Amino acid sequence: MTAAGPAAVEPFDAVDVIRTKRDKQRLSDAQIDWVIDAYTRGAVAEEQMSALNMAILLNGMDRAEISRWTAAMIASGERMDFFGLSRPTSDKHSTGGVGDKITLPLAPLVAVYGVAVPQLSGRGLGHTGGTLDKLESIPGWRAALTNAEMLAQLESVGAVICQAGSGLAPADRKLYALRDVTGTVEAIPLIASSIMSKKIAEGTGSLVLDVKVGSGAFMKTIEQATELARTMVDLGTDAGVRTVALLTDMSTPLGLTAGNALEVRESVEVLAGGGPPDVVELTVALAREMLAGAGVTGVDPAEALADGRAMDVWKRMIRAQGGDPDATLPVARETETILAAADGVVVQLDALAVGVAAWRLGAGRARRQDPVQAGAGIELHAKPGALVRAGEPVMTLHTDTPERFERARAALEGAVVIAPEGSAPRRSPLVISRLAAD
């Protein structure tokens, strides 16, 4: 029987690192590098990292600290390399909202102009939908690709939407799960480093951030959204990635659908030259930013929606990942209609209420392992500014499990506000502001 060797001597004590931030001092580069590495390999306990996360939430981090924290998270795993591609790369990240299907038409639209779009996406949790959940409603489509498959598809098609591999920023996976159960999700340094560590590790040449603000977004105020956007733009800039951010309104759902197959259907309408004006507007605005980041100017991406070129790339992208772009999409077995309570003008349609209702109908999940219903969700028949009559449909609820209708209706209590004819809804522009590097 052999004796166990001596335990490795760590260069820092986790308690000292916690005290540093607890006492409102800045963490050194060496402390940050060590604590991220030690937590990833299990040398820093969950309760210790929980305490450090809370100290960061309460006392913040400066730009250099956040940049180093992000770099340490990137260093915990692999980095992708797109230098061998014949196309420049550009990517987009949204902080999440209700009815936010923009990635689906956007990726093929940008690829029309010779720019590769490596869109690593996720699944929904809570009231915000997940891009992969939407695409998995297409028969045969698969989210899991190897790095080699991804690179080959970027070269041949120009766009790929898939799940991130387990090798990208593994420190973030542990930290994300911990923040979720310790009340530290709202810490802007931790939100920003979580998003940007994966996007920078992904290796894109330029990045456009769609930072949502409003009731259906994570950031409820313009001040919060601006702070998050500025922090992420600075992180991208410090890492050598050309990064810009658009603050966009999420007080009302995007488009006329919230739910997986429903949103795919609407995205295809946009790719066919139609679709809701707000979805088209935001898709084109983000496409312009992505193309500019990749050095492509003097083009109007709206033209590629109108003439079918973006639809051609969409079909090739879906086929490349095993999907049938012409297949019939799933439809929920049961529907129920919500009717207008009075004559008048819709002046408010609360995005959070619609998102929660769609989630309760089965379009979302409460836990990461939960399944979703492909056909569940909500169709909107009237948005702010629309004139309605009492008894007319304002939305239709879709689910396979009708026992879900009651809780969905409860979530929608007060969500639709109808005022007398002649009233005007409070409108904010869809794109509120733009932030770029200082």
Q: What is the mean pLDDT of the chain?
A: 94
Across 388-392, average pLDDT: 97
Residues contacting 323, CB < 8 A, separation 6+: 135, 138, 139, 140, 141, 142
State pLDDT tens for residues 401-420.
999 999 999 999 999 999 99
User: For residues 231, 232, 238 and 239, what is the CA-based torsion angle, rounded to 10 degrees?
Assistant: 160
Residue 2 has pLDDT above 60, yes or no: no
Q: Where in the chain is the domain with CATH 1.20.970.10?
A: 14-60
Q: pTM of the prediction?
A: 0.93
Query: By three-state DSSP, how is residue 431 classified?
Result: strand
pLDDT score recorded for residue 126 = 67
State pLDDT tens for residues 187-239.
999 999 999 999 999 999 999 999 999 999 989 999 999 999 999 999 999 99
Lowest mean pLDDT among 164-178, 225-239, 273-287: 164-178
Looking at domain 334-419, does it have CATH number 3.90.1170.30?
yes
Residue numbers annotated as active site: 93, 172, 179, 194, 198
197, two tokens? 């560590």
Looking at domain 90-165+179-327, does it have CATH number 2.40.50.140?
no
Q: Report the distance separating Cα 121 and Cα 103, nearest Å.
A: 9
Q: Where in the chain is the domain with CATH 3.90.1170.30?
A: 334-419
pLDDT score recorded for residue 1 = 44
Q: Which CATH architecture has domain 14-60?
A: Up-down Bundle (1.20)
Compute the C-alpha angle 344/254/348, nearest 5°: 25
State pLDDT tens for residues 126-151.
677 789 999 999 999 999 999 999 99
Task: Pick the closest to residue 272 from 241, 245, 299, 304 (CA basis).
Answer: 304
**Residue with the larger pLDDT of the pair 425 and 24:** 24
Q: Where in the chain is the domain with CATH 3.40.1030.10?
A: 90-165+179-327
pLDDT score recorded for residue 125 = 65
Q: Report the distance separating Cα 246 and Cα 226, nearest Å.
A: 9
